[in-house]
Structure 1
Amino acid sequence: MVSQADNLLSCKRVRTLTGKEIELDIENEYKVAQIKEKVEEKEGIPPVQQRLIHGGKQMTDDKTAADYNLVAGDTLHLVLALRGGC
């Protein structure tokens, strides 16, 4: 049996381009889209404007924290999505 504590990744950090760090508690089964929603709650940035980077690669919304082997203390990097057009 897996306890809830085993599923929780405490003190996950998201660093913005300005260097500000946001601490989030996320669970292994959280999808990247859910992590973006948590960032929106703290920073007010809509998920569609967010790109999360881990290990130099952009994270995909439909994958989970476990899919990326995230562990407590990891830092994700938040960049804003650029919109195309003139």
Structure 2
Amino acid sequence: METLVIYVMLYRRERLVIEVRPQDNVEELKAVVESKTNIPIHRQGLYYDGKRLANDRTLASYNLATGTVLHLSPLLGAAGMFSLSVIMPSNKVIQVVVHGTTTIKELMKTLEGLDQTLKSCQHFLMVGNDAMDISKTLWDYGIRSEAVIRLEKAESTCSCM
């Protein structure tokens, strides 16, 4: 079976490399993107040559070929979803799409899913100089729209990055 290597450019200037089949539909491609970014399918806008791709169409119907570059634009809106930037201990910035009711514990699990090295050490999410309580929500900290928070190692002897 023929496969294509498609590049998906994220809004944070990162590039995903995804292997797909021409007969896959756009929604199947979005499922792969979701597995790598945690952006739900219904919150993804995929664009090729300036046009938004329809979920029910196949990749072949857009004449996509190996090396094609698609652009992902998260569809944020009235549903309370927004982009949150998290500065990692390595100073890498990870962006996740969240809701104000997302708990800090849920956010930590999302980050661990994106960066496996986090599982080997205890970390705290920080807003300002304060560690965030895992039982609270982003709204509890007044975070209701795009924001930047930090993830810090709990122990100085922890060697993960």
Smaller-chain TM-score bracket: 0.7 to 0.9
- Gaps of at least 5 residues in structure 1 are none
Question: Match for 2:52 among 36, 55, 58?
Answer: 58
Find the aligned partners of 2:33 and 2:44 in 1 and give their Cα distance: 9
- SS of corresponding position for 2:24: coil
Please report the RMSD computed on the Cα atoms of aligned residues, expressed in angstroms. Answer: 1.4
The one-letter code of the counterpart of 1:23 is V
Question: Match for 2:3 among 4, 8, 33?
Answer: 8
In structure 2, do the counterparts of structure 1 residues 24 and 85 end up closer, same or farther at CA, with 3 Å as the change threshold?
closer
- Gaps of at least 5 residues in structure 2 are 81-161
TM-score (normalizing by structure 2): 0.48
Larger radius of gyration: 2
Find the aligned partners of 1:85 and 1:65 in 2 and give their Cα distance: 29
Find the aligned partners of 1:29 and 1:43 in 2 and give their Cα distance: 23
Q: Within 5 Å, which residues of 2 pair with 1:26-41?
A: 26-41=20-35
Further displaced range: 61-70 or 76-85:
76-85
Find the aligned partners of 2:16 and 2:32 in 1 and give their Cα distance: 10
Query: Is 1:20 matched up with 2:14?
Result: yes
Runs of 4+ in 1 over 6 A off after TM superposition: none
- SS of corresponding position for 1:25: strand
In structure 2, do the counterparts of structure 1 residues 85 and 38 end up closer, same or farther at CA, with 3 Å as the change threshold?
closer
Shift of 1:63: 0.3
